[in-house]
Amino acid sequence: MCDTFVALGNSTADGAVIFGKNSDREPNEAHEICIIPAADHAEGTMVNCTYVSVPQVAHTYAVLLAKPFWIWGAEMGMNEHGVTIGNEAIFTKLPYEKEKGLIGMDFIRLALERSRTAYEALHTITQLLEAYGQGGSCGFTHPFYYHNSFILADPQDAWVLETAGRHWVAEKVKDVRSISNAATIGSEWDLASEDLVREAVARKWCKGRDDFHFARCYSDVLYTTLSDSSRRYACTTQLLQARRGMITLQYAFETLRSHGLGAVSTPRLDRAVTGATVCMHAGAGPVRNSQSTGSMVAHLAPNLHTAWMTGTSAPCTGIFKPVWLDSGLPLDEPSPTGKFDERCLWWRHERLHSEVLKDFSNRLPVFSANRDALEASFLADWQTCGADEETRRDFSRSCFERAERALTTWIEDVRSTPIRRAPRFYYSAAWRNFNRQAAME
């Protein structure tokens, strides 16, 4: 399960577009940040996606990706033109294609590599969707099939794109918008596939255009309900609406850290085996089997596009750090896998996350104020970085190094904090099992 949002320039404090996303995947499905440089390709070249190959284009743009380590595509990313995309799993009544094909994350990378604007990216995805469909398992350790929705943004505009099989519908964003694991477009839209309504009529989901409603006609009620998407969608929407015209990067960080309105910092995560929050932590049972494994906030100004990445799970325990495509990624480490690896930032942070979950309401406050202060210092210094590539490269590296030192300190501080209220037995058992599967000490 995931959550994605965007605020256009008319809704932010500084007039830039701000995009945010939490990527929710399985607990040990390590997230990787990588930069793929621009490239030229010979005619007739094919590009190998996660499962299938499609014809390559003559030139691909440089892209910054945040992705599950085993997948070719990405959960979210930005290209050199500031085009930024994130996707959501949505559940529809149309049968899922079990044969291997393009998956939602492949569409994101293909669109980022081929598009100069959000509008171009929308058409890139819909053309590929209509030509190849969407199919194949998106699960790490177990089969998982779904259709996709997307938010596509650039420094001027943003779109919401929702799909069902090879059908699709799109809405241009007017100010603020969020999506979760449910279709949100109803009877009004800006663009759609030619046979969208005709398919619904043929399946007797509606009588015609007058009573057609995309979400109502195409949504699978059971799986959509189990995703708890309505509560998360309501949470992000209310948070964005409450600060419309004053939305800042810090507020975007806080939105992704939300555990529900009125419970941003210290909820009981072990209350049930169902339910989900924007900042998601896995639990016991088959419904709560995912968590926020990576987070990204993009600041899209006309002349400078900054990606703020955690590079870790659980944004409430992570630190947002600035990355620019042209100045490179300040991480010199191997790609993570599904097993613990001390050399990888994602796994080093999992030690902190795992320790916090042993008494979340008591242990998170041990360092949360320091986390906020560190990010505030990053944001203050970021304002003075300017357009000089070398200055930005040094600043980005400094932020990652300071965050690493903080992580080391916080792990020790949390471990030395006594557990006052241990989680329920089934929650603790679930996390012992996750850690055992990852071979994490």
Higher-pLDDT residue of 393, 267: 393
**Paired tokens of 402:** 């300071």
Q: Which residue, chain included where needed, has tokens 């009877």?
A: 187
CATH superfamily of 3-338: Penicillin V Acylase; Chain A (3.60.60.10)
Q: Identify whether the C-beta of residue 21 lies closer than 8 Å to the C-beta of residue 2.
A: yes
pTM, entire model: 0.96
Q: Identify whether the C-beta of residue 285 lies closer than 8 Å to the C-beta of residue 273.
A: yes
**Confidence class of residue 386 from pLDDT cuts 50, 70 and 90?**
confident
Q: In terms of DSSP bridges, do strands 191-192 and 176-179 run parallel, antiparallel, or are they unpaired?
A: unpaired
What is the CA angle 427-145-283, rounded to 5?
5
The whole-number average pLDDT for the span 159-167 is 97
The whole-number average pLDDT for the span 283-303 is 91
pLDDT, residue 272, reads 72
pLDDT digits (tens, 9 = 90+) for 103-160: 999 999 999 999 999 999 999 999 999 999 999 999 999 999 999 999 999 999 999 9
Taking the domains of the chain in order of start, what are their residue ranges?
3-338
pLDDT, residue 263, reads 44
pLDDT digits (tens, 9 = 90+) for 202-261: 999 999 999 999 999 999 998 888 888 899 999 999 999 999 999 999 999 999 999 986
C-alpha 265/C-alpha 250 separation (Å) is 15
**Paired tokens of 31:** 């997230």
Higher-pLDDT residue of 14, 286: 14
Residue 2 annotated as catalytic = yes
Dihedral of CA atoms 102, 103, 108, 114 in degrees, nearest 10, equals 0
For the four alpha carbons of 397, 403, 406 and 411, in that order, the dihedral sign comes to negative
Q: Which residue, chain included where needed, has tokens 């050399």?
A: 343
Whether residue 38 has pLDDT greater than 60? yes
- Distances in Å between the alpha carbon of 263 and those of 87, 249, 256, 268, 341? 25, 20, 13, 9, 33
Least confident window among 8-17, 85-94, 129-138, 256-265: 256-265
Task: Provide the b/e sequence for 58-67 (b: ≥16 CB within 10 Å).
Answer: eebbbbbbbb
303: CB partners within 8 A, 6+ apart:
387
pLDDT digits (tens, 9 = 90+) for 335-366: 999 999 999 999 999 999 999 999 999 999 99
Catalytic-role residue among 2, 235, 316, 385: 2
Q: Which residue, chain included where needed, has tokens 């990445």?
A: 309
**Confidence class of residue 7 from pLDDT cuts 50, 70 and 90?**
very high
How many residues does the structure list for the chain?
441
C-alpha 124/C-alpha 85 separation (Å) is 12
As a whole number, the mean pLDDT across the chain is: 94
